[in-house]
Amino acid sequence: MSHNPPLKDWHGKTVWLVGASSGIGQATAHALHARGARVVVSARNAQALEDFVRGHAGALALPLDASDAAAVNMAAQTVLAQGPLDLLMYCAGYYRELRATEFDLAEMLKHQQVNYTGALYLLDAVLPALLQRGSGHISLVGSVAGYRGLPKSLAYGPTKAALINLAETLHVDLQPSGVGVSIVNPGFVETPLTAQNQFSMPALISPDKAATEILAGWARGEFEIHFPKRFTRWMKTLRVLPYALYFPAIRKFTGL
C-alpha cells in the first residue's frame, strides 16, 4: 500500500532541495535534474551551488543559511512565485561527535538549529501554499541515528529523532489534504559529514546510490525510505528491543 501519491514522472516538476551543496542533497538534485525536473538548490555554500547550476541547465541556486528564518522565507517566496512546488526536500545537516561526559551546550543548540529548526522554518514558509493547492510532497532527511540513543550521538541523534516524529505527525495530519510526506533514514553514506568518523562504518554507500534509493522510494509512495537495507534492517531490530536487552547490545557492538 502506498502511503503517498507515487512520484514517478519528474518532467516539468519543480523541486527545491535545501542542503544540496554536497552529499545526499547534491546527488538527489542531480538525479532529479536528469529526470527532467526543474531543480532549485539551496545551501550556505554559494560557490558549490553555482558549480551545480553551471552543470545543470535550467537549475536555480538560492544560497541561504537554513537556520536563518528570514533567509528561508525570502527564498521560499522566490520559489513559490515561479509556480507550484512539487517537492520540498530538507537535507541540511550538521554533525559532530559528542558524548555526555563532554557536554557542550553550543554544539547541542547548533545541531538543533541546522538539523531541526531549519525544517520548521521551511514548513512555515511553504506549507500554506501546498495546503492551498492540495498537492506537493515534503521529504525530510533523518537518520537511523534517530531510532534510539547511540554513543557519540548526543547532539545529532535527538535532532534526527525529532525529524522522524515530526514527519510521522505531518503525514497523519496532511494525508487527507493530498500533500505527501516522507522521511529518509539513511545508514552510512559517504559524505563530508561522515568523513570525520574515526570508526569503521558498516555498509557504507555512495551519495549516488543513496539518491537512487530515495527516488525509488518516492516512486513507490513510501513514507519511510531507509537504506542500505542490510544495515537499516539490523538497526530496526535494535529499535524494538526492550531496554534490558538494548543497552547491553549497544555496549557490546560499539565497545563504548
Question: Global pTM?
Answer: 0.93
Cell of 65: 543559511
2 pLDDT band, cuts 50/70/90, is: confident
Q: Name the residue with higher pLDDT: 234 or 226.
A: 226
Is 156 catalytic? The answer is: yes
pLDDT the model gives residue 229: 87
pLDDT digit string (tens) for 142-199?
999 999 999 999 999 999 999 999 999 999 999 999 999 999 999 876 755 654 655 5
85 pLDDT band, cuts 50/70/90, is: very high
pLDDT the model gives residue 233: 87
Beta pairing partners, 89: 17, 139
Domains in the chain: ranges and CATH? 14-254 (3.40.50.720)
Percent of the chain scored above 70 by pLDDT? 93
Q: Is the pLDDT of residue 200 over 60?
A: no
Q: What is the mean pLDDT of residues 56-69?
A: 97
Q: How far apart are CA 217 and CA 84, in angstroms?
A: 22
Q: Is the pLDDT of residue 202 over 80?
A: no
- Are 188 and 23 in contact by the 8 Å Cβ rule? The answer is no
Q: What is the mean pLDDT of residues 203-228?
A: 92
pLDDT the model gives residue 253: 83
Q: How far apart are CA 13 and CA 23, in angstroms?
A: 22
Average pLDDT, the chain: 93
pLDDT digit string (tens) for 110-130?
999 999 999 999 999 999 999
* DSSP secondary structure of 195-242: GG--S--TT-B-HHHHHHHHHHHHHTT-SEEEE-HHHHHHHHHHHHS-
pLDDT digit string (tens) for 22-45?
999 999 999 999 999 999 999 999
- Catalytic residue (choose from 94, 116, 121, 156): 156
